[in-house]
Amino acid sequence: MPFDKTVVVPLDPDATFALVTEPERLRRWQTVAARVDLRTGGGYRWTVVPGHSAAGTFQEIVPGRRIVFTWGWEEGTDLPPGASTVTVTLTPTANGTEVRLVHEGLNDEQAARHAEGWNHYLDRLAAAAVAGDAGPDEWAALSQPLDELASAEATLAVVQRVLRDLTADDMSEQTACTEFTVAQLADHLAGSITTIGAAAGPKIEDDPAKPVEARIADAAQQALEAWRRRGLDGTVTIGGNTIPAPLAAGILSIEFLVHAWDFAAAVNRTVTVEPALSEYVLDLAHTIIRPEARGAVGFADPVPAELTAHPFERLIAFTGRPLTTA
């Protein structure tokens, strides 16, 4: 039973093709993270929402006109990667481009689930085509994180939104971390991602020449994919120290969410984060940031925060940031 839906977007076919194939564009309406090898036979992996990644291969690519790719979910057994097929056809119209998406190879139950998802994301595609960005996706908020990796994916979505479209002038702004400007904090965050990602196996490629949002997103995608392959069992080695794998992976959530606040405070932006996600990361912080090691890992003493404060504020206070600068 195929899913078949058409929307019209106010872009020409080439711009629309970029919106549905390029990682930087996909992150503006559909994915938290994306890897794309855009060639016939090339693979892709999209973290659509935290804890759920779709994967497959490209079967046909006609730039500006048509793309066909296999589809399935890494986490499921009823529809694994490659088990179904998605065809996106782009047709020029007087008002822009008609986007027709057909998803085949689904049983009735799968079709119903995917119809809900595709309707949600095609609406966001249309919004992104108008505004350039569909805005925060409530599906990426992950109100109930299940483990350290799903939390890392959810907090990555938060920091990416803060970093999006930073200007050259923004990069010289001072952050709450007194030793870091925005540019220097981006270097620090990229270094943390590559180090923690490499603990899961492969070397993580970092390109400082990219715009900061793309730089962090692309490095984080590699790191999180490596951790998904490895899993959370056993121990890993970071900086010569052997630590439990969940502890190492948990550091990513703290890095993403706390530094999202640092970036936002520096450039006068806001951070949108669900209370449940903040509470989860706060629990991680209490486990990982031990009193005897705070200074060694770059955290000042905690600052006071009301117990009734938003858990995100309590997280920021626990890491030694003065809330009055937010």
For residue 289, is it within any domain? yes
Q: Are residues 203 and 316 in the same domain?
A: yes
Q: The domain spanning residue 84 has which CATH number? A: 3.30.530.20
Q: Are residues 56 and 176 in the same domain?
A: no
List, for residues 102-141, the tens digit of each pLDDT value: 999 999 999 999 999 999 999 999 999 999 999 999 998 8
Cβ contacts of 109 within 8 Å, gap of 6 or more: none
Q: Are residues 266 and 294 in the same domain?
A: yes
Full-prediction pTM beyond 0.75? yes
For residue 158, is it within any domain? yes
In the structure encoding, which two tokens stand for residue 300, read together? 């000042």
Q: Are residues 96 and 212 in the same domain?
A: no
Domain range for residue 10?
A: 3-131
Q: Are residues 201 and 98 in the same domain?
A: no
Closest to 17 (Cα-Cα) out of 71, 91, 72:
91
Q: Are residues 193 and 287 in the same domain?
A: yes
Q: Which residue has the tokens 């969940």?
A: 246
Q: Are residues 169 and 225 in the same domain?
A: yes
Number of domain units in the chain: 2
List, for residues 64-102, the tens digit of each pLDDT value: 999 999 999 998 779 999 999 999 999 999 999 999 999
